[in-house]
Amino acid sequence: MPATPTDTKPAPSAPNHEETLRQAWERYGSFIYITCGVIALGILAKGGWDYLNVQKEIGIQNEYSLCVSLDSYRSFAANHPGHPLAGAAEVIVADGSYATGKFADAVNSYTSAIADLPAGPVQARAKLGLAMSLALSGKTADAESSLRQLLNDTTLLNQVRCEAGFHLASMAAASGRAADVQKFAEQVMQIDATSPFAERAFALRSSVNAKVGVPGAVAVPVVP
């Protein structure tokens, strides 16, 4: 029998590293291009969006700087609800209403300002204005509740807390609550004894004590 012929064809060699990469690129190259394109578009879109937001913010600030009357501030706040500058405009409008004795309007404007403003001194000032507007609108209980929150909020500036305490002491004195006058005056002095509101609260406490006959109390005029 003839011998089985020997297979002299060489076995295929394994593709080298460069060939593997070439084949992978041919197979998936289009997908990689598309992916890179999507990422690039996303970066450009975000940059464009950020640019538009910056330009919009600059426009809002410029518009606010052009406000000169209460009507213009009122219109600005209506056109940019929720913006911090709208809150600042509403405080100005509320101050105008308060100054002219329109306390119900002041309550509405201060309330809107508080909702638009971030936590901080301006918002705290709006809260003080709201409390005093409530008091002058005849809503004494609501006013005292707001003032108590300000007095007891340790995150606020001492000046704000002391002013709230003085107003509470004044309202207590007006309703003949000598014990509350004493309590609020002492609390204000504990917060900041150097505050002008602490001095006024102390004078108010002395005057109330003299009226109710506290031994050794001397009436001290309270500077309005």
Digit-coded pLDDT (tens) for 10-33: 555 555 556 665 555 555 555 555
Q: What is the pTM of this model?
A: 0.69
- Give the Cβ contact number of residue 102 at 10 Å: 16
- Residue 183 identity: K
Band of pLDDT at residue 224, cut at 50, 70 and 90: very low
Structure confidence by residue, pLDDT tens digits, 79-130: 988 889 888 999 999 999 999 999 999 999 999 999 998 988 989 999 999 9
Query: Where along the chain do its domains lie?
Result: 141-215
Residue 174, classed as helix, strand or coil, is helix
Identify the DSSP state of 21. Answer: H
**With contact defined as beta carbons under 8 Å apart, do 20 and 28 qualify?**
no
